[in-house]
Structure 1
Amino acid sequence: MEKSWYLRLSVVVFAAIFGFLSIWPTIHDLGWLSAPEWVRSTFTGRISPGLDIKGGLRLSYEVELDTYIEEQRNRRARDLLYAAGELAGVIDKEQTAQLTDAQRRALDEAIQVDRVGTDRIRMTFKDPSLVDKIDRPFVRETVGELLRIDSRDRASGVVNLSVREDIVEGWRETAVDQARKTIENRIDTLGLREASVIARDSDIIVEIPGADDAAFERIKGIISKTARLDFKIVDSAGASAVFTGEHLEEGVSLQTEQALDGPHGTVVAPYYMASGEGARERLEAIIEQLTLPRERVVSVGEVDGTDGKAWRTYLLVDMAEVTGEDIDDAFVAFDQTAGNRPVVSIRFKTRGARAFDELTARNVNRRMAIVLDDRVYTAPNINERISGGSAQISLGSGPYQQALDEANDIVVVLKAGALPAPLRPANEQIIGPSLGEDAILAGAKGAVAGIALILLFMGVYYMLAGVIANAMVLLNLVLQLAVMSFFEATLTLPGIAALALTVGMAVDTNVLITERIREELRSGKSPRTAVDQGFERAFSSVFDSQITTLIAGVVLFQYGTGPIKGFAVMLMIGIAGSLFTGIFCSRVVFDFIVRRPNLKTLSVG
C-alpha cells in the first residue's frame, strides 16, 4: 500500500472514532450504552430533544419598540434642552448633572421641550432669536446625525425636529436583537441548554423543552423582567409640592418623614403609602394623576407597614448617571450587620466606579434610591463620598428563603444585562409530554424503518459493494449526529426527517459510484482499474447532484423560519457528510480491497 493510503485511512479512523465518542454521552443519557467518566467529561456536548419531541413551554413576547424609540428620543431631547440652556445663558455645562431648583425654574421659563408622538421633538423658546442658533451644526454637535430639523419658526419661537427614518429602523432592529441576546444570556445562566430563542419581526419566541410548572413560572418571570437598574437621587425637598394629599383612594394615606436633602438640611418630606391587596396598583394609579416638575419621576418601593407589607412613593431625579450598564459583576452576599440576610452585591466597571464616585461626592447628605424595574429596593443616606466601586441592594425583611430566591434571580438578570425595552406577553403554549412521546415514537419508527429497508436493499443487491455502502451510510449518520452534539443542537421532527433524507442521498452517492464500477468491470477491466475509473467518472454526477440539493438547502435556510431552518441545516450537514463518506472514505475501503495480490473479481452485485 502507498503511504498516502495510510494517511487517508488514519483520517477515516479518526473521523469514525471522534464521531462515536462525540455522541456516546448522548447515548449514555438515553440509557442505551454506558459511557466512561472520561468520555462524558471530555465530550460535554449533548443532543437535546426539541419541543415537538419532549414537550414543554413555548412563549411568545412582543418587544415594545415604541417605548424603546421614545426613550432614545427622550435622551436626545434632554441633551438638546441642556445644550439650548447653555446657549440661552441659563445654565453652565458643568451644572447639567445636578441643577438647583432655581436653575430648573429658569430653564423651564426659557425653553419648553415637548415630546410629540414617538419620534418627534418640539422646542419653544421664550426668546425667539435663539431659534436661529438651533441649526444643523448645533444639532449635529449635540446629538450627532440622529435628528433632523423639520421646521423653524422665529415668529413663534418654535423649532420642530424628528428622528431620521433610517435611525428609527436601526433602533427597532437593535432593540429586537438586544432583547434576543439578553434572553439567551438569561436562559444560559439558568442552565437551560436545550432552550431556543428566535427573533421574528418584533416578536421573541422562546421554546423550552421539559421542566415543570414551578420552573416555568420562574423562567417566565426571569425572561420578562426588564432588569433596568438605576441609581437615582431622592428629591426630598421637592416632595411637598408633589404629594399634596389630592386624589387619594381608600387604603392610601399621606405620610411624612424627616429626611436629609443636601443644602436644605433636614426637611419634612411627604409621601404616599398603601397597604393590603393591590397596594402597588393603587399607588401607581394615583401616580399617573400627579403633576411632576421637569426632570422628576415617582417610583414605588416595598416597606414594612403597621399591617404587614406596604408600598410607598419616592420622588426621584429622572436622570440616572449610574445604570446597570456600568455593572461589571453581581453576586449574592450576606449582610452580617442584618443577621446574615441575603443581599445583592455589585461591582462597577471602571467608568461606572468613577461615575458612582462623582455622584456620591456631589450628593453627600442626600438619599440615593437603588431602582430595579421601577421598584425602589433601598434608599440609603449618602453620608460620605463612596470611592470603592461597589454597592449593595438590600431585599427587605421578608422570609429568608424568599429573599434568597429573589437575590439569586436579580443576580441572573443583572449579569445577563437589561432588556432594551419591556416585553409584552403575546402567547403562551404548554405542549404536553404525551404529545412529545407520540411524535418521537412515530418519527423514530418511520426513520428507522426507512433506513433499515435501504440498508437491506443495498446489502442484497450490491453484495460486498453494498456492505461498504451501508458502512459509509452509517458513518455519515454518526458524523451528522456528532456535529449536532458538538454544537449542542436540538433535534426536532424536521431534523429527524432531514436525517432520513440524507441517508437516502448518501445511498444515492454510493449507488452512482457502484454502478460506474460495474460498467467498467463489464467492459473487461481489472478490479483496480474499474475502481479507479469508476470513482473518477462518477465524481461529476455525484458532485452535481449534491451541490444542487445544497443550493436548495441554502434557500430554505435563508428564507425559512423555525423548523424549516432546522431541516435545512441538517440537510446541508448531511450533504457534506455524504460527500466525505461516499467519495473519500469508501475509496479508502475499495483501494484496500482491490490492491490485494491475486484479486481477480470484485463483488458488486
Structure 2
Amino acid sequence: MSNRYPLWKYLLVAFVAVLAYVYALPNIYAPDPAVQISGAAANVVVGRQQAQTVEEHLTSLGVGIVNTEVTESAILVRLEEEEHQMLARREIQRVLGSDYVAALNMAPTTPQWLRSIGGSPMALGLDLSGGVHFLMEVDTHSAVATRQEINSDEMKSILRNQRIRYHEVEVDEDNVIYGRFRTAELRDQAVAAVRREFNDHSFRSVDTDDEHRFYATLSESAISEIESYALNQNLVTLRNRVNELGVSEPIVQRQGADRIIVQLPGVQDTAEAKRIIGRTANLEFRLEAQPDTMVSMKEEFPFRSQEDRRGATAELERQIILTGDHVANASSGFDHETNQPQVNITLDSLGGTMMHRATRSNIGRRMGVLFIEHRSRTEIQTDEAGEQVEVTEYYVDREIISLATIQGALGVQFRITGLESPAEASELALLLRAGALAAPMYFVEERTIGPSLGAENISQGITSLTWGMALVLLFMLLYYKTFGLIANLALIMNMFVLVAVMSIIGATLTLPGIAGIVLTVGMAVDANVLIFSRIREELRSGSSPQSAIYSGYERAFVSILDANITTLLVAVILYAIGTGPVKGFAVTLSIGIMTSMFTAIIGTRALVNLIYGRRRNLQKIWI
C-alpha cells in the first residue's frame, strides 16, 4: 500500500494545470468590433494608401477607431463601438468602390505572447456570440439557359451530320430553342431528326413568307429537374468551399425553391469567406477562331490584364471543348522553366476523352482558357426620398487567362499558365477543386448574427452554470470537509482544462454546449462522491486512514470507469448522428467526461497524497 505518487506524476498534474490556465486565458479577452477590407479578386492590392483613405473618412464622420492593421492581403479597422460597424462598412464600400470587399468582423484582442504559442479564444456558436449569415439566391433561370445552349449545340451537330441545311439554331431570352430554315421541307426534316434525341422538348412549327421556323420548349418537369439539380449542386459546392475555409460547424442548407443559407459561426476572416463563397468561377476551353471562320461562329474576348497584353483581345470559337465541370482536381504551383504561377489540372475520364478528341486533330492551333465569373457591384445612390440606399448590379466577366499552342494531344492532366500572381493561382485552384457552381449565385442578405435565442436566454444559461457550480462547491465543502475542498479545487481545474482543450482543438461552444458543461460539473464530482463514500465505509469498518484512502481510490476506480465509458459512448453516438444543437451538447459532454476522469481521480489523489501521504502516524482525517 502506498499513498505517495512518484515525482513525475506530481509534475504531470502541475504541468496540465499550468497548461490549462495558459490556454484558457485567451477567453477572458473580449474581441473588438471591426471591419475587414480585402480585394474583390486575388490580384487587387490593398495597402497603406487605402487604409489612410478609410481612416480619414471614418474620422470625419465621428466614427471612433482603435487602430488599423495592414497585412499583405487585408486591412483590419478596429472600432470603439459596435453600433458603428454597419455605418463604417457602408461608408468604406462607398469610398473604395466595388474592387474591394468590406465585411463585418470581430477582431480578437488576445495578447501577442499568447498568440505566439498558439493561444486563441474558444470559438462561439451563432447562438452565443454570433457569426456571419449569408442568404444567397441561385439564378436558376441561368441554369436552364446554360442547358439550352448545350442542347442547341447538340442540335446543330445532329443537323450537320445528317446534312440538313439551316440558317440559324439559337436560344432566345425565354430559353426556347428556335431554328430558321429556307423551306418548310428542311424544317420538317430537322424536327424529325432532333425530336428523337430531345423527347423532353415540345416542338411547334411557324411559317412566314420568307422563312420557316421551329421552336423547341423544355417541358415543365425538365425545367424543375434542371433547377433542382442546380440548387443541389450549388449546395454541395458551397459545403466544399466552406470546408476549404476551415470553418467549424458551419450551416449550409436550402431555403425555399432557389435560396441557400450559409452560417459561419466563429468565423474570423469574413471578407475572405464572402469572396470565396460568393464567387461563381468556371472555365471554358475553346479553340482560337481561324480567319475564315464565319462571324456567327466566333466571339471576341479580352485578355486578363497583364503588362504585355493590356487592352489586347482574341477571337475564340463559340463551340466549347469542355468546361470546368470536368475538373477532378486542381493545385497551384510554379512553372519550372519561367518560374511563373500555374494551375495543374486533372480531368475526370469523360473530360480527358473530350480534351484528347479535340486536341489530337488540332495540333498547331491555339487553345484559349476562358475564365468566367459572375460578379456584383454595390453602389450608394440617393433615392427619390433623398435617402442613401445600396444598389446592387450583377454582371459577368469573361477573360482569357491563357492562349497557348497545342503541341500534342492532351489527356487528363495538363496545366494552365498566364496567371498574374501565386494568390490568383491558389484561389483559382481552390474554386475548381471545390467544384463548379451549376448556376450563378448572388448575395441577397449579409449580416452578423447576435444570439439566436436572445440575450436573456444566454444570460440564463451562464447564470445556471454559475449557480450550479456554486451549489456543488458548497455541498462538497460542507459534506466532505477537507476532502470536499480538494474536490472543489479539482473541479475548478477541470473547468480550466475543458475550456483549454476546446480552445486548442477549435471546438465551437453553443448554448446546448453550456448545458453539457453544467452536466459535466455534476459528473466530475460524482466520481469524487464515489471515492469519498468508499473511504468513509473503510473507516467505519476499522481500517486505518492511510488504508482507507488507498482502498477508496483503488476500489472505486472500476465503477467510475464503467460509468464514464458508457456515458462517453452515448455522447459519441449523439455526435455521430446528431446535427446542430445535439452536436454542440455532445462535444462538451465528451470532452468534459475525459477531463473529469483526469482531474477527479489523478488530480484529487495527487493533492490527497501531498497532504496525507507522508504522515506515518495519521490517526484521523476530515471527511
The alignment's TM-score, normalised by the length of structure 2, stands at 0.56
- The within-5 A match list for 1:570-581 is 570-581=588-599
Q: What's the counterpart of residue 316 of structure 1?
A: 318
CA 1:69 to 1:500, structure 2 compared with 1: closer, same or farther past 3 Å?
farther
Aligned amino acid, residue 472 of structure 1: A
User: Residues 534 and 316 of structure 1: is their aligned pair in 2 closer, same or farther, counting only changes over 3 Å?
Assistant: same
- Whether 1:523 and 2:541 are equivalent positions in the alignment is yes
Confirm whether residue 229 of structure 1 aligns to residue 283 of structure 2: yes
Matched, 1:184 2:206: no
Kindly indicate whether the alpha-carbon contact (under 8 Å) linking 2:331 and 2:343 is maintained by their aligned counterparts in 1.
Answer: yes
CA distance 1:60–1:26, change in 2 (3 Å): same
Alpha-carbon distance in structure 2 between the residues aligned to 1:562 and 1:434: 15
Give the structure 2 partner of residue 417 of structure 1.
Answer: 434
Task: Assess if the C-alpha contact under 8 Å between 1:324 and 1:414 holds in 2.
Answer: no
Aligned to 1:149: none
Q: 1:116 to 1:26 in 2, by over 3 A?
A: farther
Q: Which residue of 1 aligns with 2:210?
A: none
How far 1:570 moved relative to its partner?
0.8
1:197 aligns with 2:250: yes
| Equivalent AA in structure 1 for residue 619 of structure 2 | K
Structure 1 counterpart SS, 2:318: strand
Superposition deviation, residue 540 in structure 1: 4.6
Asked whether the 8 Å contact 2:574–2:586 carries over to 1, the reply is: yes
Q: Aligned runs of 1:474-553 on 2, under 5 Å?
A: 474-553=492-571
**Structure 1 residue 502 displacement after superposition:** 0.5
Give the RMSD, CA atoms, in angstroms: 5.9
Instruction: Quote the Cα distance in structure 2 between the aligned partners of 1:178 and 1:362.
Output: 34
Assess if the C-alpha contact under 8 Å between 1:64 and 1:421 holds in 2.
no
The letter of the residue matching 1:5 is Y
Question: Aligned equivalents of 1:227 and 1:63: distance in 2?
Answer: 14
**Paired residue type of 2:399:** Y
Correspondence for 1:114 = 197
**Structure 1 residues 542 and 484: CA distance shift in structure 2, 3 A:** same
Contact 1:65 1:175 in 2 (8 A): no
Deviation track 1:349-406 (CA, whole Å, cap 9, x = no partner) reads: 5889x999997785445562513258531287656749996545689xxxxxxxx9x9
Aligned AA for 2:435? A
Does structure 1 residue 206 correspond to structure 2 residue 263? yes
Q: CA deviation at 1:578?
A: 1.9
Contact 2:300 2:315 survives alignment (8 Å): yes
SS in 2 for 1:231: strand
Aligned-pair CA distance for 1:524 = 2.5
Distance 1:420 1:53, change over 3 A: same
* 3-state SS of 2:250 partner: strand
**Equivalent residue in structure 1 for 2:476, among 458, 466, 485:** 458
State TM-score, norm by structure 1.
0.57
Partner SS state of residue 561, structure 1:
coil
Q: In structure 2, what is the Cα distance between the partners aligned to 1:18 and 1:177? A: 40
Contact 1:468 1:586 survives alignment (8 Å): yes
The residue identity in structure 1 corresponding to 2:250 is: V
Find the counterpart in structure 2 of residue 377 from structure 1: 399
Structure 2 distance, partners of 1:199, 1:34, is: 30
Following superposition of structure 1 onto structure 2, how do residues 31-46 of structure 1 map, counting pairs within 5 Å? 37=113, 39-46=114-121
CA distance in 1, matches of 2:346, 2:573: 46
> Which structure's residues are more often helix, by fraction?
1
| Structure 1 residue 455, shift from structure 2 partner | 1.6
Q: Offset of 1:506 from its aligned partner?
A: 0.7
SS in 1 for 2:127: helix
User: 2: distance between equivalents of 1:200 and 1:384?
Assistant: 43
The answer to whether the Cα contact below 8 Å between 1:27 and 1:33 also exists between their aligned partners in 2 is no
Q: Quick one: structure 1 residues 207 and 375, their matched pair in 2 at CA, closer, same or farther if it must change by over 3 Å?
A: same
Q: Give runs of aligned pairs for residues 415-454 of structure 1, distance below 5 A.
A: 417-419=434-436, 421-422=438-439, 430=447, 432-433=449-450, 440-454=458-472
Letter in 2 for 1:452: A
Q: 2 CA distance for matches of 1:542 and 1:178? A: 46
Structure-2 change in CA distance of 1:416 and 1:548 (3 Å): same
- Aligned residue pairs total 457
Query: CA offset at residue 322 of structure 1?
Result: 7.3
Q: Percent same amino acid at aligned positions?
A: 28
Distance 1:478-1:228 versus aligned 2 partners, 3 A rule: same
Cα distance in 2, alignment partners of residues 582 and 590 from structure 1: 11
Question: Contact 1:299–1:376 (CA<8 Å) still a contact in 2?
Answer: no
In the alignment, which residue of structure 2 is the partner of 1:599? 618
> Is the 1:458–1:466 contact (alpha carbons within 8 Å) kept by the matching residues of 2?
yes
Q: Which residue identity is paired with 2:5?
A: W
1:325 counterpart (327, 338, 352): 327
Partner letter of residue 560 of structure 2? Answer: V
Kept in 1, the 8 Å contact 2:326–2:347? The answer is: no
* C-alpha separation in 2, matches of 1:332 and 1:218: 23
1:331/1:445 CA distance change after superposition, 3 Å: farther
Superposed CA offset, 1:431-485 (max 9, x none): 5548776665443333223222322332233221011101211222122112212
SS in 1 for 2:617: coil
Aligned to 1:23: 24
Q: Residues of 2 paired with 1:530 and 1:3: CA distance?
A: 10
Give the drift of 1:574.
0.9
Query: Does the CA-based 8 Å contact 1:232-1:317 persist in structure 2?
Result: yes
Q: Which amino acid aligns with 1:17?
A: V
Contact 1:64 1:424 in 2 (8 A): yes
Structure 1 unmatched runs, 5+: 89-107, 122-169, 235-259, 272-295, 334-343, 396-403
Give 1:535 deviation, angstroms: 2.5
Secondary structure in structure 1 of the residue aligned to 2:399: strand
The 1:56–1:331 alpha-carbon spacing in structure 2 relative to 1, beyond 3 Å, is: farther
- Structure 2 stretches of 5 or more lacking a match? 33-107, 163-190, 202-228, 306-310, 374-395
Matched, 1:347 2:343: yes
Matched, 1:53 2:128: yes
Contact 1:45 1:485 in 2 (8 A): yes
8 A contact 1:332–1:408 mirrored in 2: no
The correspondence of residues 264-279 of structure 1 with structure 2, limited to 5 A, is 265-267=291-293, 269-270=295-296
